[in-house]
Amino acid sequence: MSNARVAASYVQLLYEYLSSRGHDPVRVLGPLPAQAGHFVPLPAWQAMLARAQTLDAAPALGLRIAQGISARHFGVLGYAALACNTLGDALQRLERYHASVYDVNPAQVQPMAQGVCIEWGVERGRPGALVDETAVASLVQLARDMTGEPLAVAQVGFVNAAPADKAPYERFFGGPVLFEQPTTRLVLGLQHLALPLRKSDPGLLALLDEQAERILRDVAMPASASAPGDAWRATLVSLIRQGRTSLADLASAHHMSARSLQRRLAEQGSSFQALLDDTRHRLALGYLRDPALELAEIALLLGYSEQSAFTRAFRHWTGLAPAQWRKQNAAASL
């Protein structure tokens, strides 16, 4: 599993847990990994968890660590998930972009008779009980945090050997917990998929919007600078982050009909698609200059459901794939 890794934002959860237990996490684990580095190699994460276990030998350490999870530990993916309407929608985003937070074994989300199954195989190896238990418990706790519901799972399965006492696991997950399974799996009931997600932190969303607006100001594109549609472009900033990128969405935000907005844009020599593409293009250039953002995260921030769709659009705008553009501009800035 030499290429496996986890997000630095996710690792921060362990530092916060140790601090809550009265330990100095920096003294125990060393300096907190820089968020700009984005990822921490899996061996380093395994070593951190093992070190924490020497200080807290009580059973089910991973479950206790996970209780402090929130959307911010999942980075942009966590914030994007909170923009979804239901837990089921958020789980679909997890399947597409989980590697931006937890790049160990690929996750697959499959519907089944009793609900939905999220499954991790062992094709890239077995990271160990502490890593697996922290990851699965964190996902369950995040779902509880996003929905505001206690959310008892239908079933949990781990590939690792059974602990001496299963009771803490059954209490935490609220359902049967199996061990020595062929894959790691989490089954949620159908009734949970339709649960609406609570609103995200307004202050956090304001910060994301402020960052996007700053990018729009800083990225110089003569063809669109001081364009007449800047008022509508400002509204698009938050709509794009939420994945609401239709003409109807923008018109509704301005309390007008889609036809009226089309007419107003046409009077200014523009169109909704041109405004949307130009705004996304300018944001993309700014986001790509931030080395802490993965391409999958940038796709989410731009409202694309798939990274491949972002890549196609960016190639159309610039003639280059996003990774190529980032590499060229990084070299030019040296």
Is residue 195 scored above 80 in pLDDT? yes
Is residue 209 scored above 70 in pLDDT? no
Q: Check if the beta carbon of residue 155 is closer than 8 Å to that of residue 187.
A: yes
* Shared-domain flag, residues 161 and 226: no
Query: What is the rounded distance in angstroms from the CA atom of residue 323 to the CA atom of residue 91?
Result: 27
Distances in whole angstroms, Cα of residue 299 to Cα of each of 8, 101, 307 = 19, 15, 5
Is residue 25 scored above 90 in pLDDT? yes
pLDDT band at 217 (very low <50, low <70, confident <90, very high): low
Query: What is the rounded distance in angstroms from the CA atom of residue 190 to the CA atom of residue 172?
Result: 20
Element (H, E) at 277: helix 272-288
Burial of residue 222 (CB within 10 Å: 0-12, 13-18, 19+) is: exposed
Specify the number of domains making up the chain. Answer: 2
pLDDT band at 334 (very low <50, low <70, confident <90, very high): very low
* Shared-domain flag, residues 32 and 10: yes
Query: So what's the pLDDT on residue 201?
Result: 54
Pairing state between β 115-120 and 107-112: antiparallel
* Domain CATH number, residue 234: 1.10.10.60
Query: What is the rounded distance in angstroms from the CA atom of residue 39 to the CA atom of residue 4?
Result: 10
* Shared-domain flag, residues 180 and 240: no
For residues 3 and 217, which has the higher predicted lDDT (pLDDT)?
3
Q: Check if the beta carbon of residue 77 is closer than 8 Å to that of residue 97.
A: yes
Amino acid identity at 174: G
**Per-residue model confidence as pLDDT tens digits over 256-298:** 999 999 999 998 888 999 999 999 998 899 889 887 677 877 8
* Shared-domain flag, residues 39 and 186: yes
* Domain CATH number, residue 41: 3.90.1520
Q: What would the mean pLDDT of 116-135 be, rounded to a whole number?
A: 94
* Shared-domain flag, residues 155 and 110: yes
Tell me which residue range forms the domain holding 298.
202-332
* Shared-domain flag, residues 185 and 206: no
Query: What is the rounded distance in angstroms from the CA atom of residue 29 to the CA atom of residue 17?
Result: 12
Would you give the distance in Å from CA 243 to the centre of its chain?
Answer: 14
Write phi, then psi, for 320 (nearest 5 degrees): -125, 155
The contacts of residue 247 (CB under 8 Å, 6+ apart) are 258, 261, 262, 272
Q: Which residue has the tokens 């280059």?
A: 320
Which two three-digit tokens encode residue 260? 């009226």
DSSP conformation letters of 244-275: --SHHHHHHHTTS-HHHHHHHHHHTT--HHHH
Query: So what's the pLDDT on residue 223?
Result: 46
Query: So what's the pLDDT on residue 297?
Result: 78
* Shared-domain flag, residues 174 and 207: no
CA neighbours closer than 13 Å in the CB half-sphere of residue 287: 26
Domain boundary among 152, 174, 193: 193
Query: So what's the pLDDT on residue 225?
Result: 43
Domain boundary among 167, 193, 219: 193
* Shared-domain flag, residues 148 and 288: no
pLDDT band at 61 (very low <50, low <70, confident <90, very high): very high
Query: So what's the pLDDT on residue 224?
Result: 46
* Shared-domain flag, residues 189 and 220: no
Query: What is the rounded distance in angstroms from the CA atom of residue 181 to the CA atom of residue 240?
Result: 41
* Shared-domain flag, residues 142 and 221: no
pLDDT band at 222 (very low <50, low <70, confident <90, very high): very low
Q: What percent of the chain lies above the pLDDT cut of 90? A: 51
For residues 236 and 126, which has the higher predicted lDDT (pLDDT)?
126
* Shared-domain flag, residues 321 and 175: no
Which two three-digit tokens encode residue 283? 């944001």
Domain boundary among 193, 228, 255: 193
Query: What is the rounded distance in angstroms from the CA atom of residue 183 to the CA atom of residue 43?
Result: 21
Q: Which residue has the tokens 């364009």?
A: 227
* Shared-domain flag, residues 215 and 128: no
